[in-house]
Structure 1
Amino acid sequence: MTTRLKLGSAPDSWGVWFPDDDRQLPWSTFLDELSEAGYEWLELGPYGYLPTDPARLFDEVAARGLRVSAGTVFGSLHQPELWDSMLATTRAVAALAASQGAEHLVYIPPLFRDDKTGELLQSPHWGDEQWKTALRAADELGKILVNDYGVRLCLHPHADSHILTQPQIERFLDGTDAAHVSLCLDTGHVAYGGGDNLDLIARYAERIGYVHIKQMDPEILAQVAKESLSFGEAVKRGVCVEPPAGVPNPATIVSALSRLDAELFVIVEQDLYPCEPGVPLPIAVRTRDYLRGCGIGARHQRPAPS
C-alpha cells in the first residue's frame, strides 16, 4: 500500500492559541485565508474559536472547500481529581470533531508554565505514581473516544509539558495500549525537546496516527536552553520558522513518512502568537508550495457530516 499524506493547516499558523483573545484574528478570516492559501484540511484548534454548533461549522467549512481533520484539546491525565472535568471537555471536542467526519483528536498535556507569563504553575517533572496515573488515564480515555465517537486519541508532545523529550515520549508509548492510543508526531516539539524524529518514525511507525509538521530555529533553541525560556517567549522570539529553514529538515521528514504503510494527515503548525494580521497568509502559501513540492497534497470530494 502506498502512503497517502494529506496536507492541512491549523489556527496556530494564523497566530491563534486561545478560544477568545483580542490579539487574534476573527475565525472567519482564518477560514477565508486558509482556503485562499490552497489548503484542503484544517484542524479545529482551541475549542470555541471556531463555531461549536455542528451544522454551522460544517456549512462555514464546506463553503470554503475545506474539511476537518481533527479536533484539539488540552487535558490533564496525571491528576485524578480533574478527570471528570477533563472528560467532559474532551467529550465535547470529540463530538464536534466526529460531527464533521474527523477521526482524530489531538490531545495536549497541560503546560507546567503559563502560556503568556511563563510563570511556573507546577513541577516540571512527574514522579512514578504520576506516570502510572497518566498512562492508565490515557488508555481509559482512548477507549472512550473510540467506542463513543469513533475518534482516535493522538497524544501531542508539547514544550513546557511533561511529555516532550524522547525518553518521555517513549515511556508514554511503551506504557499505553496501541489499540486505543496513538502519537501525534509534532516534529517541531520533538526537536524542541532534543528528540530524533527520524528515529521515532522508524521505531514507532505503527503508533504514529497523525503529524504536525513544524521546524525550530536552532539559534533560538540554544537561547531556550541557556535562559530557561518559556515556550511562549520562545515563540515571540521566532523559534518556529517556515520551511525549509530550521530543524528538523522537513523534506527528510516527508520522505520518511512517505515510506510508512499508512494514511496520515500532515498538518502545518507554525506557532505565531501573537502576530500582525497580514503575516500568516504569505507564509501559509509559501509553506504549502514547499510541502507540495515534497509530494504532499491532493484534492478529494468532501463527504456529508454524520
Structure 2
Amino acid sequence: MSFKTPKLSPDKVWLGITPTLWWNDDFLNIDIGIPFEQCVSEMALAGYVGCSIGHKYPTDPQTLKAALDLRGLRVSEPWVSTYFTIESMKAQTIQKVRQQLAFIKQVEGHESDPRRADLVVAEFGGAVNPLPVALYPNAPTFNDRQWDELAAGLNEIGRIAREEGRRLCYHPHMGTGVMKQAAVERLMATTDPDLVFMLLDTAHLYCGGADPLEITRKYATRIKHIHLKDFRESVLKEMHAKGMSFQEGIEAGIFTVPGDGSYNHFPEILSILAEAGFEGWLVIEAEQDPAKANPLQYAKMARAYLREQLGW
C-alpha cells in the first residue's frame, strides 16, 4: 500500500530531473550521443518542470533560457565543486560560486516565478570519486583544520548565496570527505543553519555509509533540496568486495530511479519532509548508462512512482 503524503503540494514542491539519465557529466565516455535538445524534450515529455545543468547545455544564458522556456522547464540547480580543504583554492572556489550565481540569475531573468534554483555544492578537496581507484578505502578523512576551513568556507559562500536570494544546499557525496554518517552530522553541526542547508541525496547517503531516513528525521527543517535516487544492493556489495571505483560502480548499475532499486524508505522520507513543511525542488536522479537504461523509460518510471506516492 502506498504511503500518501498529501501535504507535499505541487504549488510548493516542484519536480525536476537531472540529465545524468541521458549522459554522465563526470565520466564523458558514458554517453550514447543523445543531444541536449532530445534530453530536455524527453524531460518535459516525462512530466517534469525542472532540471539541473549538464555539460551539453548551452553556455549562453539566453540560449539556454529560450530552450527551456520552449519546453516549460526551469533550472533546479547550478552546481559548484568546492575546494576549501586543500591548499590555495578558496579564492577560486568563491569566484566559481559568484560566476554560477551570476549565470543562473541571467537564465532566470527578472521573472517573479517562485521556482528559483538553489545553489548546490559538495567539497571535492581530496575526493576520489573522479579517479580510477577503489572508492571506499581511499575516500578522504578530514582533520580538524580541514573541518574548520570547510565550515568557514561554506558559511562564507552561504552568505554570498543568501545575498543573491539563493539557498546554499550541501550535497554529501560518495568518494568525498562528507559521505559517512558522522561526517554528515559534523558538517551540519559546524555550519550556520541559516546559511548552509542540506541537499538530501538518498542513494549517495546510503551508499556512502549514512542512513537517509535518520538524516531526514534529524535535519528535516534544514533539507531544502532533494535528489531522490535509488540504488542496487547487489552492486553496492560488489563495489565493496572488489574495490571498485565510482565510475565502475555507475557502469555496473549502482544507481537507478526511485522504486526500481533496493531502498524502501522513500514513503517515510516524503512524509517526514511533508510534516516539516518542505518547499522546493524534488529532483529525480539516476546516474546510469543510457546504453543499458533507456532514459525516457526510466524518467517516466520515476514520474509514475512519484505520482503513486504524492497523489499528483
Q: Same fold (TM over 0.5)?
A: yes
Give the partner amino acid of 1:105. Answer: L
Q: Please point out which of 35, 49, 59 is paired with 1:52.
A: 59
SS of structure 2 residue aligned to 1:211: strand
Unaligned runs of 5+ in 2: 1-5, 109-115
In structure 2, the residue matched to 1:91 is: 98
In the TM superposition, residue 31 of structure 1 has moved relative to its aligned partner by: 0.8
Q: Per the alignment, do residues 141 and 265 of structure 1 end up closer, same or farther by CA in structure 2, a change over 3 Å counting?
A: same
Q: Post-superposition shift, 1:16? A: 2.6
2:304 is matched with which residue? 289
Does the aligned pair in 1 maintain the 2:226–2:281 contact within 8 Å? yes
The answer to whether 1:78 aligns with 2:85 is yes
Check if 1:138 corresponds to 2:157.
Answer: no
**Paired residue type of 1:156:** H
Cα offset for 1:94? 1.8
Q: 132-141 vs 51-60, which deviates more?
A: 51-60
1:12 to 20, 33, 49: 20
Could you tell me how far apart the structure 1 residues matched to 2:235 and 2:97 are? 33
How many pairs does the alignment contain? 292
Partner residue of 2:35 out of 4, 26, 29:
26
User: Partners of 2:49 and 2:146 in 1: how far apart?
Assistant: 39
SS in structure 1 at match of 2:283? strand
For 2:222, the equivalent position in structure 1 comes to 207
Equivalent residues of 2:257, 2:284 under 8 A apart: no
Aligned equivalents of 1:216 and 1:153: distance in 2? 26
How far off its partner does 1:116 sit? Answer: 5.8
Q: Distance in 2 between matches of 1:249 and 1:130?
A: 33
- Which residue of 257, 260, 269 maps to 1:253? 269
Asked whether the 8 Å contact 2:21–2:290 carries over to 1, the reply is: no
Matches of 1:220 and 1:115, distance apart in 2: 18
RMSD of the alignment, in Å? 2.4
Among the aligned pairs, what percent are the same residue? 27
* Distance in 1 of aligned mates of 2:123 and 2:295: 26
Alpha-carbon contact 1:13-1:268 (below 8 Å) kept: no
Q: Shift of the alpha carbon at 1:146?
A: 1.5
Indicate the SS of the match to 2:197. Answer: strand
Residue 157 of structure 1: CA displacement? Answer: 0.5
Give the deviation of 1:113 after TM superposition.
1.8
Distance 1:170 1:198 in 2: 13
Q: Secondary structure at the match of 1:150?
A: coil
State which drifts further: 157-166 or 96-105.
96-105
- With over 3 angstroms needed to count, the CA separation of the structure-2 counterparts of 1:143 and 1:257, relative to structure 1, is same
State the TM-score, normalized to the length of structure 2: 0.86
Match of 1:191 among 196, 203, 206: 206
Give ranges in structure 1 of 5+ residues lacking alignment: 298-306
Report which stretch shifted further, 254-263 or 12-21.
12-21
Q: Does 1:269 align with 2:269?
A: no
